[in-house]
A and B are shown apart, each in its own frame.
Chain A
Amino acid sequence: MIVLEKRPQPSKLWTAITPVFAVVATMIAGGIMFALLGKDPFEAIRTIFWDPLFNEQFAAFSRPQLLVKAAPLILIATGLAMGFRAGVWNIGAEGQYIIGALSGAAVGLAFYPTESFFIFPLMVIAGALGGFLWAMIPGLLKVKFHTNEILVSLLLVYVAEFILASMALGALRNPEGNGFPGSRNFKDYPSAFNAELLPNTGLHWGVVAAIIAVIFAYVLFSKHMMGFHIRLAGQAPKAARFGGVDPARLILFCLGTSGALAGLAGLFEVSGPAGQVSIDFNVGYGFTAIIVAFLGRLNPFGILLAGLLMALTYIGGELASFMLGVPTAAIQAFQGMLLFFLLAVDVLTNYRIRFGKRKVA
């Protein structure tokens, strides 16, 4: 019989190894899925993981895309990790992302066509503030009325999507756009455009913000009392109370920070790679970031790597569906497998497997 035995302490080795394990298992299971769909599994896996970076034909386009796609994921996931470590489950980063983008874009568009250096920084502040305030709704409701932040934050995503549609069709619509939905394009408004800092690298202000966020989160978790209290509250809520942690303050800090970072990600996206507020400029980064946060073990540097990996599967997935005709749904299933296997092998950090007869403790 196979028996799971609790380790006396969590294994450091396994904490580091499990993501690799999960990636390999995903490749195997995904390969089987692609084979069942009648595609060559080896070619599909190579197209997803290898071609975007090293194929001569595609790499020039794909490599900058890696940073463009990874930045919002890392930015959002870093914020989410704070909450997840404390046991505060912000599932609605997608909504905070949308509201952040709308707030920042609205500020920028309000100044059109004035050109000035302060417009983009103002948009950044507005974006962060928009995400922060949207996340305060589940935060304050939880603190005051003990509502469930998972439900409230998730449902607010749909509210945000409706607001986005209404804005793209109404208040923020381009007056010179011949009635087409969508706002003015920021590419045509230099003061408000989140341009590439170095040509053809994909490096924009969002990437810089993501790296700063990762370093900030690392310092918070390893050197600051707030980070200690976040970990404490997640692991042992009663001990946290004894240690003087104010649960309400912690909930608001975690939701507020993750909301602000999601809002920032939205602003950098809408003012740069997306270029305009359109009905569907959001592509689900807020949800994918949840996978990224767990894939990175809720560790800031882990999230950095996980964000890059996830971005790779996005780009590679598009490539695979374009080149090999793999259905988009199969690519999404492939990404889902990654989270599934990660959570499944996670058990090995706290338990070891023993083969043989069960011993009664």
Chain B
Amino acid sequence: MSDGLGSEGNPLKVLIVGSGPSGFYAADALLKADTTVEVDILDRLPTPFGLVRAGVAPDHAKIKSATKAYDKISDNPNVSFLGNVTFGRDVSLAEIQATHHAVIFTCGAESDRRLGIPGEDLAGSHTATEFVYWYNGHPDYRDHVFDLSQEVAVIIGQGNVAADVCRILAKTVDELKNTDIAEHALDALSQSKIRDIHMIGRRGPAQAKFTHAELKEFGELADCDPVIDPAILDLNAASQAELEDKTNRSAIKNIETLTAFSQRPAGSKSRRLHFRFLEGPTELKGGEHLAAVTLMKNRLEGEAFNQWAEETGETVDLPCGLLFRSIGYRGVPVPDIPFDDKKGVFPNKEGRITNDGSVLPGVYCAGWIKRGPSGIIGTNRPDSVETVGSLLADLSGLDASQKPGGAGLRTLLEGKGVRVVSYEDWQKIDAAEIAKGEAKGKPREKFTRINDMLAALS
């Protein structure tokens, strides 16, 4: 069998759906395998890199340089990019199975969990991701409008995304103007009347999920003071026990920094970021527009590292006109692929997508759509490595016939009138964005409409 699957005469052709970190790490793992492979990476946008482009905050430029590693992967002649192609609309699973031996879905978790409380859909109540995609210039969110004429904004949640939203609201135009923040967002934020930003967490300060690096940034803002009630730092015994475990370093550092914030003399900056703990929203109030959020006071119950928030029955109304929820993300179902509605992921065993427990041959997933929305960019690498390991272990069971691969898929798509964007095309878009940014002292000015991206190619 000189032409066994994965040999030089019959390369293993894999399609990856989604060009974020998980997609690139899956491609990288395939290229490193002891198998001849050709990898094609699909994205519904003409631009690659998923949340590195549309999620990572504009003022965290260094993190965005992760894309250099993806450029390097794309330099491999056995990797190609097919942008501006939507799975399920432009191409079906059956069509992909005719052109490729296997497909790996790395399409992330694109929607938000809901609070499930009355008033959630009042004007002024949004998901954190809408705001993030908006300030990062994602074409789907280009025309979203946020009422920044309000003075009080509330963010429900205390993870990394919640921290980003708070920081972007807290920063001055001068702190943002030299980042790659989208022009429409910078213009809107320059008119912001927001004065008080409340970041709400259900559990206590020792359980907060933001990292210490992110927390420290709130102490260094040009025109925003961090505010925390010292009483909330009077921790219960179980939380103190958590801090005595030296492996819990992030929490130890967070408490040190929050304590330092609480001991600062009252600030005089024009904005305030209020860290609030042991509170959870039970209702959003207002007529047509949000006017207040009702917060239930909680107390911690349970043993160290296993504490939960128990409602006390005592509530407080916090007047606010803008609210963002950031309490977790969910994947979005796609045609022909089973979906676990409870977890918001594709059901899978070590990356092999399953239907009622039985494995769909040649169909895999990695990243947030596989394990749920946890971890940061690098966390996706071992996850993609595991999925590729499953794929390679299944090799002998896959359809070993010769497949046309990326070239065949491109022909199919172009026959349907799809303008497929290659990596070379993306590099032209990239160069045009960088050139647009240069005049303004920004690392890039993103195209925020797909038509403008495609126009840069003609």
- Are A and B part of the same complex? no
Chain A residues close to B by CB (< 8 Å): none
